[in-house]
Amino acid sequence: MIAATTAEAASTSSALVPLPVILPLLAAGLKLAIGVRLQRTQRVISSVVLAAVLAVALMLLIDADQHGPQVMYAGGWKPPVGIVLVADRLSALMLVISSAVTLCVLLYSIGQGMADNDEATPLSIYHPSYLVLVAGVSDTFLAGDLFNLYVGFEIMLTASYVLLTLGGTVTRIRAGATYAIVSLLSSVLFLAAIAVVYAATGTVTMAQLAGRLDRLPDGVSLMAQISLLTVFCIKAAVFPLAAWLPDSYPTAPAPVTAVFAGLLTKVGIYSMLRTQTLLFPDGRLDDVLLVLALLSLVVGILGAVAQTDLKRLLSFTLISHIGFMVFGIALASRPGFAGAVFYVAHHITVQTTLFLVVGLVERRGVTTDMQRLGGIAKLSPVLGLLFFIPAMNLAGVPPLSGFLGKLALLRAGFLHGGVLVTVVIAAATATSLLTLYALAKAWNLAFWRAAPPELYVLGVVLDIVESDESDDADEREGSGTAGAASEGAYGTSAEPGSAPGGPVDVQVLSGRTEAATFGGRAITTGEPPATMLGPTIAMVSFGLAFTVLAGPLTSLTERVADELTARTPYVEAVTGR
């Protein structure tokens, strides 16, 4: 009776496995068919579909944890003929985190009105591209064979290029071209690696490769491993293959940058975890991974310390903290894998949150250049708090989840031992301190110190615009608080006037100060609406939940690590033996 119940539950869950891929693709096709019509309906469709994906991901995680990996054979064809999708503990956990993050980011972008009522980037472009991106991420996590993993990468690449270049500005086209060229290069390398693996083993299904790669000559197996690791290191932005990231991500709109920085690099980390544990468990390249982790930690954080722009600072911290995850993989031990999985889940949430908050800062202060910001905590205390909490979490301040994740990784390193591991532990500790320094500098410059004159005048201009009192504007001009508007490069610009700290020059577009743009369209500065603050607060709360629920999450990541090191649950679920 118990066996029959378990089999029935597994069968039901298997039917749910493809839904995180199918639902976003169906919704994207429907929205393309609708076009620019029924915009409210389109927003509802996107939100409901991503909420449904999150619900399915939660059910898959529960079933995978209780009943083992859930498997779906496309068309009923089993490997090596058919495509297999697998939801084990690792992939299901990644699905839950990514679904929650992409839903919040979508609500944030809807709240900002970025994709609506804009001729340059109509809703019929942004939302379908975003849904296709979600489908690509889900397909990557669920892929049970190398070629389907490649397909997931290509789906993400197609959608990513559209999202990066929305609006067609010169800066975004240049950054998008760099991203596309690097991604296409990695795609070519990935195809070559798949060809090598297939020629040597006769299959690309990972459950079957787990046994066949072990029997290959050492040279062939090593070449396949190096090829795959190179591809995944490019995707994960592991140094020295990370030069493309700081120039590509910061140019995109805030929601796009947030989901890219928080999620897409972790797809590469997930692929490394999957292949290193399932296909190449012998640990031949563990020392190489340790060196890469060391370089990523050090070079990334030194780059972050040198930055004066919030977006670029966070982009370099992203490269640096990828080193923590690679370190856990390189340890090739149960504690190392558990620590890496915990840190991946934490970092996806916190990094996404910080970029969303920076989008609000850009909206409030016109720029992300810390030299031109200041007083944000006083002008908007809520915004200051929303930045402070995830910043301290990223820096690893106790008792937040960033501290717990780093502590787990350092403990795994001490258990492993070795000179090189000890050097990486020292670098990781220094990186945490320098991360705290970099974020404290950002807090001091952008939030804590007195606001520069431009922000005082900005507040006056916004008051004039929002009240639409031209008489009052003339009065302010006469008092020297803000200058009279005259034609400028962006429409109108205020003449230099007197403000606390001296004369200033404020750029104004159509009666509104120019700030962040989406598709080349200026967005009104000032206090962010509740529809933007809501998703951001939800993301901050989600990050704090990892601290409150650290015990259950740690237990789950340990079970994930057990399953990864054993290999047999995954292999037996797919092959049936």
346, 492: one domain: no
**CA 136, CA 210: separation in Å to the nearest integer?**
24
Give 242's contacts (C-beta < 8 A, 6+ positions apart): 296, 300, 319, 322
**CA 351, CA 211: separation in Å to the nearest integer?**
37
445, 480: one domain: no
Q: 509: helix, coil or strand?
A: strand
Give 318's contacts (C-beta < 8 A, 6+ positions apart): 237, 245, 261, 265, 300, 351
103, 165: one domain: yes
Give 382's contacts (C-beta < 8 A, 6+ positions apart): 533
Q: What pLDDT band is residue 365 in, cutting at 50, 70 and 90?
A: low
555, 516: one domain: no
pLDDT digits (tens, 9 = 90+) for 76-122: 777 777 789 999 999 999 999 999 999 999 999 887 764 334 444 44
Q: Following DSSP, what letter does each residue of 121-158 receive, concatenated? A: S-HHHHHHHHHHHHHHHHHHHHB-BHHHHHHHHHHHHH
pLDDT digits (tens, 9 = 90+) for 4-31: 334 444 444 578 888 899 999 998 888 8
Among 71-80, 109-118, 198-207, the minimum mean pLDDT is found in 109-118
266, 351: one domain: yes
- Are 396 and 437 in contact by the 8 Å Cβ rule? The answer is no
Q: Following DSSP, what letter does each residue of 250-300 receive, concatenated? A: GGS-HHHHHHIIIIIHHHHHHHHHHHHHHT-TT-TTHHHHHHHHHHHHHHH
429, 490: one domain: no
Among 298-302, 338-342, 348-352, 458-462, the minimum mean pLDDT is found in 458-462
The residue from 478, 495, 522 where one domain ends is 522
Query: 72: which strand partners?
Result: 85
Over residues 151-156, the mean pLDDT reads: 92
- Are 402 and 384 in contact by the 8 Å Cβ rule? The answer is no
**pLDDT at residue number 487:** 29
CB atoms within 10 A of CB 36: 14
Give 278's contacts (C-beta < 8 A, 6+ positions apart): 206, 207, 209, 210, 564, 567, 570, 571
266, 352: one domain: yes
378, 483: one domain: no
Cα 38 to the center of its chain, rounded Å = 30
Asked if residue 1 has pLDDT above 60, the reply is no
342, 480: one domain: no
How buried is residue 471: exposed, middle or buried, by Cβ count under 10 Å (0-12/13-18/19+)? exposed
- Are 71 and 574 in contact by the 8 Å Cβ rule? The answer is yes
216, 240: one domain: yes
**pLDDT at residue number 124:** 63
Name the CA radius of gyration of the chain, rounded: 25
**pLDDT at residue number 525:** 47
335, 462: one domain: no
Among 34-38, 45-49, 564-568, the minimum mean pLDDT is found in 34-38
Give 156's contacts (C-beta < 8 A, 6+ positions apart): 133, 136, 137, 140, 264, 267
Asked if residue 323 has pLDDT above 90, the reply is yes
- Give the side-chain half-sphere CA count within 13 A for 405: 32
**pLDDT at residue number 452:** 65
What is the domain range of residue 497? 453-522
309, 163: one domain: yes
- Give the side-chain half-sphere CA count within 13 A for 139: 25
Domain count, the chain: 2
**CA 351, CA 428: separation in Å to the nearest integer?**
18
**pLDDT at residue number 232:** 93
**Which single residue is written with the structure tokens 């939030």?**
447
- Give the side-chain half-sphere CA count within 13 A for 452: 17
